[in-house]
Amino acid sequence: MQEDPIQILEVRAGDAGRPTTATAAVSADGANAIFIALSEQLDRRRAQPMATADEVLTVRDRADLVERFVPLVSACASGVIQLTEEQLRDCLVDLSDYRGRVDGEHYQPLELRERLEVTAVVAAILWDANATVAAAAQEALNRTSR
């Protein structure tokens, strides 16, 4: 049985000084699929005119997210990556948008079909992680408000 392209190793609740995070082990194929999807979505965002400071900040945050996967993709290696609650949500949004835009009834080369299958598995795992991270963040918020 082939290993998952991403595995959540730990969810750590944040506190006043740091955000809630998820630490994940990412396979080389998983990192490559995530990198391509996020890069393409970033390119599409950059091609749109930016009218507000929030749009500029969103593009900058998404570029930072893409950069987190560069060392793994450059080395064609598996590795461990840590994502904040916000980065995890951004990753999920962009993976979902990418799959919605690229996946369809038209002809798809084998490489694209395989990448879409990997992104589907990654997204499913990250959705579960997102729920866990949100619960941990809420629990941390409840502890600080007591």
Report pTM. 0.90
| DSSP annotation of 48 | S
Q: Which two tokens stand for residue 77?
A: 């290696």
- DSSP code of residue 28: H
**pLDDT tens digit string along 119-135?**
999 999 999 999 999 98
CB 89, CB 130: distance < 8 Å: yes
Q: What is the pLDDT of residues 26-79, one digit of tens each?
A: 999 999 999 999 999 999 999 999 999 999 999 999 999 999 999 999 999 999
Whether 103 contacts 15, CB under 8 Å: no
